[in-house]
A and B are shown apart, each in its own frame.
Chain A
């Protein structure tokens, strides 16, 4: 049966409940998702971009059946993620970033063979598929070594091999390049793009803008549990086409002065990043030239330098979306 969407969610909400206090115990609700609506087409590489705590991992865990949403619905390959668990788990794969999630004191082959059996892959298929994956992910020759001797990149490729064991139609990758060196991260991105070209649907979360820009067909920007923008990387950049970026370095910028910059007419966002003894201020505004000419007056009494004006990038679009004035 052909399906229109590989992944679809409607009003997806998740609230974590915890208990605070000892004698006076109080229930505390933390909202991780506040209503997510998504639709991912088959064969698409869909990226979810957002800061830490935005709800990216929670979304992936719901879609991979590891979490039950508080309300709303989600279907993957037409299966309900709450009720059709066993059928769905056979058809999807997931990879979480980081070094955890492997039996590091056992070898790579044992790790893969174990999960092949847990995914109920027939032995004749797994005997053929495991060497294929080891070859494809450049792990051949090291499969009998303990995983603890692998580099971070190799561990991540082993994670990916595990995620591909059941030849999933949809692959979920939660920050797969986190902690990888630039070469390892690039290799992984090439592999992921290759999977999409081979017909798989990939749902990828990341907080690296360039990664999303480079490989994703479409991106959803998520912040505080809601999607604040969705579209192709080009269309998201278009959203900041009318905006220029002014950046400068300053020493000892008081909060009140930051607020006064935010209040300026035409300024859409101001982000301050600490850099050792100085701060880097990034301002998105509609009339950058005018702003630069006013800087001496606006920053009177402060030492600032390295003033630069540039065009907005996807990162700027992202920053504009997840920060408010």
Chain B
């Protein structure tokens, strides 16, 4: 536990002094929110405003969680510290637990920033929300992002090409999980893939709490998301063990 907390603190310190982190936490989410507001807000439909405001915030939350989780490991590789981390008695999964948790918290900051920009810059606020379900859905969304980030992070120590595909995968999640539009508009086979991602269910609940016409099956969505989160976390820990074993065979840890 102490190791994970220290890893979280180190990640925060590294992010604070990293200019690129500000791009992910502040600049990109703001651009997304502003563009979404220009595109969607002129409509008189309050639902579109919700998609613009929350969608911009969610891109920031996800981008910070996922890209920085993976990029953090790649940075460790470039600095030569990944090998030092792997040589410690603390498993890499525990270290990443702390690092990803920090990134999620920074992502929540990015989310708040998007909401603030919508209000201050565009005088736009979320339509009246169903407080309780919104809060639960938002908390579950954070945990869902954390779980997916943890499950994908082990790819980075495994392969040097991983970051090349990371950017594409990041945008794919925007679409698959319905960050800015309902997933019900996607082809059925894509919806099948979407349903395997825990954020899909929590984001659906989140938008439902803002009054979107997507039903009100909170209990079912939360339960599905929770089960998927448990599966993803289990996969993450197993995948980390596999990644560590593979890295010990291939010797790729030290190579930048």
Asked whether any CB of chain A lies closer than 8 Å to the CB of B17, the reply is yes
CB-CB under 8 A for A66 and B6, given A103-B14, A119-B88: no
Asked whether any CB of chain A lies closer than 8 Å to the CB of B90, the reply is yes
Asked whether any CB of chain B lies closer than 8 Å to the CB of A105, the reply is yes
> Cβ of A287: which chain B residues have Cβ within 8 Å of it?
none
Q: Give 17 A-B pairs besides A106-B14, A118-B3, A119-B90 with Cβ atoms closer than 8 angstroms.
A: A65-B248, A68-B249, A86-B89, A89-B88, A89-B89, A90-B89, A94-B87, A100-B80, A101-B79, A101-B80, A101-B83, A101-B84, A102-B80, A103-B10, A106-B13, A110-B13, A118-B85
> Cβ of B5: which chain A residues have Cβ within 8 Å of it?
117
Bound: A68/B249 CA distance, A = 5
Task: Choose one: A65, A98, A117; the contact of B2 (CB below 8 Å).
Answer: A117
How many of chain A's residues have a CB under 8 angstroms from any CB in B? 32
Cβ of B12 to closest chain A Cβ, rounded Å:
11
Considering the complex, give the chain B residue whose CB is closest to the CB of A101.
B80
B3 pairs with A103, CB closer than 8 A: no
Bound: A119/B88 CA distance, A = 6
Asked whether any CB of chain B lies closer than 8 Å to the CB of A113, the reply is yes
> Cβ of A16: which chain B residues have Cβ within 8 Å of it?
250-251
Asked whether any CB of chain A lies closer than 8 Å to the CB of B69, the reply is no
A118 pairs with B249, CB closer than 8 A: no
Cβ of A232 to closest chain B Cβ, rounded Å:
30
A115 pairs with B2, CB closer than 8 A: no
Question: What 0/1 pattern do residues 180 to 211 of B give for CB contact below 8 A with A?
Answer: 00000000000000000000000000000000
Cβ of A313 to closest chain B Cβ, rounded Å:
33
> Cβ of A58: which chain B residues have Cβ within 8 Å of it?
251
CB-CB under 8 A for A118 and B90, given A106-B13, A110-B13: yes
Bound: A104/B249 CA distance, A = 28
Considering the complex, give the chain A residue whose CB is closest to the CB of B244.
A85
Task: Choose one: B18, B79, B80, B248; the contact of A67 (CB below 8 Å).
Answer: B248
* Chain A residues close to B by CB (< 8 Å): 16-17, 58, 61, 64-68, 86, 89-90, 94, 96, 98, 100-106, 110, 113-115, 117-120, 123, 162
CB-CB under 8 A for A113 and B89, given A61-B251, A101-B83: no
> Cβ of B253: which chain A residues have Cβ within 8 Å of it?
66
> Cβ of B85: which chain A residues have Cβ within 8 Å of it?
118
| A–B complex contacts, Cβ < 8 Å, 26 sampled | A61-B251, A64-B87, A65-B87, A66-B86, A66-B251, A67-B251, A68-B245, A86-B89, A89-B89, A94-B87, A96-B80, A96-B83, A100-B80, A100-B81, A103-B14, A103-B81, A105-B17, A105-B18, A106-B14, A106-B17, A114-B7, A117-B2, A118-B7, A118-B89, A119-B88, A120-B90
Asked whether any CB of chain A lies closer than 8 Å to the CB of B95, the reply is yes
Bound: A123/B1 CA distance, A = 13
Cβ of B252 to closest chain A Cβ, rounded Å:
10
Question: What 0/1 pattern do residues 69 to 112 of B give for CB contact below 8 A with A?
Answer: 00000000001110111111110000100000000000000000
> Cβ of B80: which chain A residues have Cβ within 8 Å of it?
96, 98, 100-102
Question: What 0/1 pattern do residues 22 to 56 of B give for CB contact below 8 A with A?
Answer: 00000000000000000000000000000000000
Considering the complex, give the chain A residue whose CB is closest to the CB of B17.
A105
> Cβ of A162: which chain B residues have Cβ within 8 Å of it?
84
B248 pairs with A101, CB closer than 8 A: no
Cβ of A148 to closest chain B Cβ, rounded Å:
11
B251 pairs with A118, CB closer than 8 A: no
Most buried by A among B79, B85, B87, B249: B87
> Cβ of B18: which chain A residues have Cβ within 8 Å of it?
105
A101 pairs with B81, CB closer than 8 A: yes
Bound: A177/B83 CA distance, A = 19
Bound: A94/B10 CA distance, A = 21
B87 pairs with A104, CB closer than 8 A: no
Query: Using a CB-CB cutoff of 8 Å, which residues 122-137 of chain B contact chain A?
Result: none
> Cβ of A113: which chain B residues have Cβ within 8 Å of it?
6
